[in-house]
């Protein structure tokens, strides 16, 4: 699709004369084709570039020269991370995410070293046995213990904070415990990272943190706020903090897939509400998102992947097509649909290469990265029921049964309802 200058003016709400001026000033970045009659025709990429220019000039009030410099810097690409030189500490390293993260960082990114930080020695023992890897060290510790965390982070370059209490009913029933682990634990991770000179920290968040209706979501929202604001506490020490936020992980411990796989043996699946929809992400995608976040983060962002949704009834059909479905009724603290961005976040959120990035709302924060990002309309919300990407029954079956490894992993996990 090619656009005339008038159409671009209308699309961007900018006078044609300004577009002409920008075209002249940013000729290195905008490359319209010419018709036989010599008229310019702009591509979608050109329009996106104009959008960025508009964002910088109109909203951020930058000079034309500084915008040119920024576009130049970004066009040359950001330097990648030399993972072979990084030592990473993962809180909750023995969990579903943590183990997968370790596997990918060792095999694909060849990291220098990983420190797994968690409480239960048995899980660590089992992981040590199955990984048989010298680059991993196992540290017993609780995120509630600030001193232990500080000691554990000495000499660490990056931290991934995955430890959490994440079962909705458990958090509701034990609210003090949920606050201690998910909120105080987050603060301890931030303090320890600053004190020990860690360079970058990414905390894992969840869709349940958006407009939370249960304590788990509320504690994760607090955690997000602590991490995005943690950058202010870092001061001159330079530690950067960001979050990644995603929906249910396919087959993670305590999620609905292992539950349905178990229930189908009895011929009956239980569903709380047949209208329910959820976002889904694979562990590979979750780890990739963290890696991308580390690469791009300036500090203060929330990275949100563009991922598919599924209807709970389609999942039930995919796993137990012959099974009877019992409807239990929606539980306290459960939503019909989940959201990955809130309405109020839209004005600070940009759409960027396979993900949304919620940018910090601080007056002192200057956007240096994300120059390819496109601003979202006011009141935009990314919710599981209005998602353009909806998985079909066949696609769900392919994901759950198509791959031996995944089926084994999924079926082998513990079977508790209500995913984190």
Ligand X SMILES: NC(=O)c1ccc[n+]([C@@H]2O[C@H](COP(=O)([O-])OP(=O)(O)OC[C@H]3O[C@@H](n4cnc5c(N)ncnc54)[C@H](OP(=O)(O)O)[C@@H]3O)[C@@H](O)[C@H]2O)c1
Residues engaged in binding ligand X (CB under 6 A): 91-92, 94-98, 118-120, 123, 142-144, 162-166, 181, 185, 204, 206, 246, 248-249, 252-253, 255, 419-420
The residues facing 206 across adjacent strands are: 246
Identity of the residue, 166 or 335, whose beta carbon is nearer to ligand X in the bound complex: 166
3-state SS class at 113: strand
CB of residue 77 vs ligand X: minimum separation in angstroms? 30
CB of residue 413 vs ligand X: minimum separation in angstroms? 9
Angle at 215 between CA 210 and CA 216, to 5 degrees: 70
3-state SS class at 24: helix
Beta sheet of 355-358, edge-to-edge order: 136-140, 113-118, 87-91, 158-161, 200-206, 240-246, 302-305, 355-358, 349-352, 374-375
Place of tokens 């956007």: 367
**Closest Cα partner for 348 from 299, 301, 384?**
301
Per DSSP, 55 falls in state I
Please name the helix (run of DSSP H) or strand (run of DSSP E) that holds residue 316, with its range, or none. helix 312-319
Identity of the residue, 40 or 166, whose beta carbon is nearer to ligand X in the bound complex: 166
CB of residue 175 vs ligand X: minimum separation in angstroms? 15
Identity of the residue, 53 or 250, whose beta carbon is nearer to ligand X in the bound complex: 250
Identity of the residue, 29 or 101, whose beta carbon is nearer to ligand X in the bound complex: 101
354, 291 contact by CB (below 8 A): no
Per DSSP, 348 falls in state G
**Closest Cα partner for 135 from 96, 95, 103, 98?**
103
Identity of the residue, 142 or 195, whose beta carbon is nearer to ligand X in the bound complex: 142
Identity of the residue, 94 or 292, whose beta carbon is nearer to ligand X in the bound complex: 94
Identity of the residue, 50 or 279, whose beta carbon is nearer to ligand X in the bound complex: 279
CB of residue 120 vs ligand X: minimum separation in angstroms? 3
Identity of the residue, 142 or 395, whose beta carbon is nearer to ligand X in the bound complex: 142
CA 408/CA 64 separation, integer angstroms: 56
CA 14/CA 107 separation, integer angstroms: 49
CB of residue 282 vs ligand X: minimum separation in angstroms? 11
Q: Look at strands 349-352 and 374-375 and give their pairing.
A: antiparallel
CB of residue 100 vs ligand X: minimum separation in angstroms? 8
CB of residue 203 vs ligand X: minimum separation in angstroms? 7
Taken in order 284, 285, 286, 289, the sign of the CA dihedral is positive
Q: What are the percentages of helix, strand and coil residues in the chain, rounded to 5?
A: 45, 20, 35
Instruction: Count the residues in the chain.
Output: 420
304, 352 contact by CB (below 8 A): no
Using CB positions, name the residue nearest to ligand X: 95
Query: What residues act catalytically?
Result: 208
Per DSSP, 269 falls in state E
Taken in order 324, 325, 327, 333, the sign of the CA dihedral is positive
CA 153/CA 189 separation, integer angstroms: 9
CB of residue 207 vs ligand X: minimum separation in angstroms? 7
């Amino acid at each position: 699709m090619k656009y005339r200058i008038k159409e671009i003016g209308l699309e961007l709400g900018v006078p044609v004369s300004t577009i002409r001026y920008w075209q002249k000033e940013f000729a290195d970045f905008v490359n319209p084709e010419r018709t036989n009659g010599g008229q310019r025709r702009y591509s979608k990429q050109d329009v996106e570039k104009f959008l960025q220019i508009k964002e910088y000039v109109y909203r951020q009030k930058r000079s034309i020269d500084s915008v040119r410099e920024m576009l130049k810097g970004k066009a040359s690409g950001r330097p990648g991370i030399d993972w072979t030189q990084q030592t990473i500490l993962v809180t909750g390293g023995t969990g579903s995410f943590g183990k997968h993260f370790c596997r990918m960082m060792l095999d694909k990114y060849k990291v220098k070293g990983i420190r797994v930080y968690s409480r239960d020695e048995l899980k660590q023992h089992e992981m040590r046995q199955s990984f048989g890897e010298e680059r991993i060290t196992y540290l017993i510790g609780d995120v509630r213990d600030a001193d232990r965390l500080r000691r554990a982070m000495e000499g660490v370059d990056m931290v991934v904070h995955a430890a959490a209490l994440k079962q909705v009913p458990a958090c509701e029933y034990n609210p003090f415990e949920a606050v201690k682990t998910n909120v105080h634990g987050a603060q301890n991770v931030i303090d320890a990272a600053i004190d020990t000179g860690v360079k970058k920290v990414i905390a894992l968040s969840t869709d349940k943190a958006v407009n939370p209706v249960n304590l788990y979501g509320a504690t994760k929202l607090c955690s997000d706020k602590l991490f995005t604001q943690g950058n202010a506490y870092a001061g001159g020490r330079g530690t950067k903090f960001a979050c990644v936020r995603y929906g249910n992980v396919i087959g993670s411990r305590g999620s609905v897939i292992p539950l349905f796989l178990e229930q189908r043996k009895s011929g009956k699946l239980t569903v709380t509400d047949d209208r329910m929809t959820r976002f889904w992400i694979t562990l590979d995608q979750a780890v990739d998102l963290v890696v991308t976040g580390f690469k791009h983060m300036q500090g203060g962002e929330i990275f949100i992947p563009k991922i598919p949704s599924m209807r709970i009834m389609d999942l039930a059909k995919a796993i137990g097509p012959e099974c009877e479905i019992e409807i239990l009724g929606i539980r306290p603290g459960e939503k019909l649909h989940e959201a990955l961005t809130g309405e109020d976040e839209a004005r600070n959120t940009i759409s960027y290469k396979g993900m949304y990035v919620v940018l910090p709302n601080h007056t002192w924060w200057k956007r240096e990265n994300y120059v390819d990002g496109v601003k979202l309309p006011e009141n935009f919300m990314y919710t599981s029921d209005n998602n353009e990407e909806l998985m079909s029954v066949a696609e769900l079956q392919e994901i759950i049964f198509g791959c031996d490894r995944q089926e084994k992993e999924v079926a082998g996990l513990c079977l508790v309802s209500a995913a984190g």
